[in-house]
Structures are given as structure tokens and as C-alpha cells.
Amino acid sequence: MTLLESSVTIAVISITVVVAVPSLIRARESYELESAARQVAGNLQSARVKAVSRNRDYRVRVTSQVTYAIEREDPTWKNDEALLVPRGFHITANASPQFHRRGNASPAATFIVWSPSGRSKMIVVNITGRIRIQ
């Protein structure tokens, strides 16, 4: 292989890397955000299952920008589990949904998980107790 062919090959590889890296970084960020949202949704579903299986009300409450808690009513609210969002992410909510013995929830709530780059995913809890990611 000549020097010219080697130079052209290196140039083509360099251009390919320069073009591909930003989209790979965005894909990774998107995957991490989706994963963090699924983690929160899974914990919400866990609180709902606990409410039904233990015949006791449970609620999920955001306690800071990076923590949220699953609490049980016994007869006052007691912390059942303290949870963290993944490093660099933060969470907000417009309410603390309370899951009842039959699986329904009140009030309806929306949790928002924010990525370090400012992108977000919403986790919606409706009054029937259904949890979905938007």
C-alpha cells in the first residue's frame, strides 16, 4: 500500500468517526434517559403491587431532586423504601400518587425524569393506577 492510499484510508476513517460519534452520544443519552424513566415506572408499579398484595395504601413521593420514596400508611405515612435516580439525572412530580388496596391511584400524577443534557421523559399515573411512559 502506498503512502497516498494509506492517507486516503485514514482520512475516510477519520471522517466516518467524526460523523458517527455525535449520533452515538445522542443514542447513548437517549438510552440512559429511557432506562431511568423505566426504573421510576417500575418502582411506581412496585408500590401499586404492594398496595394490592398487602391490603394497605402506598404512595410515591419525590423527596428531593435526586431521591424519591415509597411510603406505606401505618396509620401514619412511614418510609418503606428510599430510592435514587441514576447519577446526573433528576426527578420532579406534580403530585404524590397514593395507590389504594384495589390498585387505583389518587391523585393522578406526572413524574418527569430529566437527563443531564436537559431532555426529559414523563411517567404518568392515572386514577385507575395505570402507569405509562411518554
| pLDDT tens string 114-126 | 999 999 999 999 9
Q: Determine the pLDDT at residue 7.
A: 87
- Of 114, 14, 89, 132, give the one whose Cα is nearest residue 123: 132
**Gap between the Cα atoms of 49 and 42, Å rounded:** 10
Q: Give the domain extent around 58.
A: 3-133
User: What is the count of structural domains for the chain?
Assistant: 1
CATH label of the domain that carries residue 109: 3.55.40.10
Question: What is the rounded average pLDDT of the residues 73-87?
Answer: 94
Cell of 27: 443514542
| pLDDT tens string 21-52 | 788 878 889 999 999 999 999 999 999 999 99
Q: Determine the pLDDT at residue 103.
A: 94
Q: Determine the pLDDT at residue 21.
A: 77
Cell of 78: 412511614
19 vs 98: which has the higher pLDDT:
98
The DSSP result for 3-24, as a single string, is HHHHHHHHHHHHHHHHHHHHHH
Cell of 98: 397514593
Average pLDDT for the chain: 94
**Gap between the Cα atoms of 68 and 98, Å rounded:** 14
Cα distances from 100 to residues 48, 57, 72, 114, in angstroms, run 8, 5, 10, 28
Q: Determine the pLDDT at residue 15.
A: 83
Instruction: Tell me which of 12-26, 36-50, 56-70 is least confident.
Output: 12-26
**Gap between the Cα atoms of 56 and 124, Å rounded:** 22
**Gap between the Cα atoms of 48 and 56, Å rounded:** 10
